[in-house]
Amino acid sequence: MIAFHRVGLEYPRTGTKALYNVSLEVKKGEFVYVVGHSGAGKSTLLALILRRLLPTQGAVYFAGQNLKLLRGDQVALHRRRIGMVFQDHRLLSDMTVEENLAFVLRVQGIPSREWPERIATALRRVGLAHKKRAFPEELSVGEAQRVAIARALLLDPPVILADEPTGNLDLDNALQVLDILKAAHQRGATVVVATHSRELPEAYPARVVVLKAGQVVRDERPGEGGSIRVRESPDRGGKEEA
C-alpha cells in the first residue's frame, strides 16, 4: 500500500536532513505505530506519504504509484485517499461540528443529499452524534479530537495517518481515540500512527517502527520472536538501542 525505497529527505531551506535511507513497506490493512524521539522524523515521514514533501533521495510509492510522478489534480485525488489526524484538532472555530464536517464534503464535491447520512455515520463512529450543533470551543479537548477523527473518516479513506493524535489527551481520552482508530482498522483501513505514547502499543499491539535521527532502527510486529534491527550508518555515529 505504502512503500519507501531508500528515502532521504533534506529540508531545502535549512539543509536539515530529516530522513536517511528509509526503506519501509506498509501493507494494505496494516496498523503501524511510528515512534521515536522528538525530531526523529515521524512527521516528515507522514508528510511524504501525503505528498506534502517529495523525497530528496529514493522514492515513495502509494498503491504502486511513485508519488513524485503525480501531477496537478492527481495530487488532490491522492490526498482524498488519506484521512489525516493531527495532534491539535484543527477544527474551524466559527463553524459547528456538523458544519466542519459538511465543509469537507463540500470541498470534496460530495453531493449535498449525501451529507446528512455521511455526517451522522461519522459522528456515530466517534460517539458524538449529540454534539453536532456544538462549536469547537464548546467541546472538551478529547471530544474535539474525536470530531477531528470523524472528519478524517468522512470519505472512508483506505489509509489513515495520525500524527500524535493523543498528544494532548489524558489516558482515558487517548484510549477512546485509539478505539476509534482500531475500529477503522478493523473495517479494513491501513493506519499509521506517529506517537510518543507507550500506552497505545500496549493497549492495541501492532507493528512498531522506531525512528532514530531519521533512520529506521527497529521494526517489529507483536508476537515475533526477535525484532528486525536495522543498523545505523556509521557516519551518524549512532548506536543501536536495546
Ligand X SMILES: Nc1ncnc2c1ncn2[C@@H]1O[C@H](COP(=O)(O)OP(=O)(O)OP(=O)(O)O)[C@@H](O)[C@H]1O
Q: Which residues bind ligand X (CB under 6 A)?
A: 11, 13-14, 16, 18, 36, 38-44
DSSP run (H or E) holding 26: strand 17-26
Inter-residue contact 194 to 43 (CB < 8 Å): yes
- What is the DSSP-derived secondary structure letter of residue 14? T
Residue 16 touches which of ligand X, Mg ion, none (Cβ within 5-8 Å per kind) = ligand X
Q: Which does 18 bind (CB under 5 to 8 A by kind): Mg ion, ligand X, none?
A: ligand X
Q: Using CB positions, name the residue nearest to Mg ion.
A: 43
44 binds, among ligand X, Mg ion, none (CB under 5 to 8 A by kind): ligand X
Nine-digit cell string for 117: 447520512
**Cβ 17 vs Cβ 40: under 8 Å:** no
Backbone angles phi, psi at 23, to 5 degrees: -120, 130
If contact means CB under 5 to 8 A according to the sort of partner, which of Mg ion, ligand X, none does residue 38 touch?
ligand X
Phi, psi at residue 69, to the nearest 5°?
Answer: -90, 0
Nearest residue (CB) to ligand X, 60 versus 128: 60
Report in angstroms how near the CB of residue 20 gets to ligand X at its nearest.
11
- The nearer residue to ligand X, 101 or 213, going by C-beta atoms, is 213
Minimum Å distance from CB 151 to ligand X? 21
Return the DSSP state at 129.
Answer: G
Distance CA 206, CA 223 (A): 9
* Least distance CB 42 / Mg ion (angstroms): 5
Which residues, numbered 25-54, are part of the site for Mg ion (CB under 5 A)? 42-43
Shortest distance (Å) from residue 215 CB to ligand X: 12
Run of H or E residues at 73: helix 72-80
**Distance, first Cα to last Cα, the chain:** 30
215 binds Mg ion (CB under 5 A): no
Positions touching Mg ion (CB under 5 A) are: 42-43
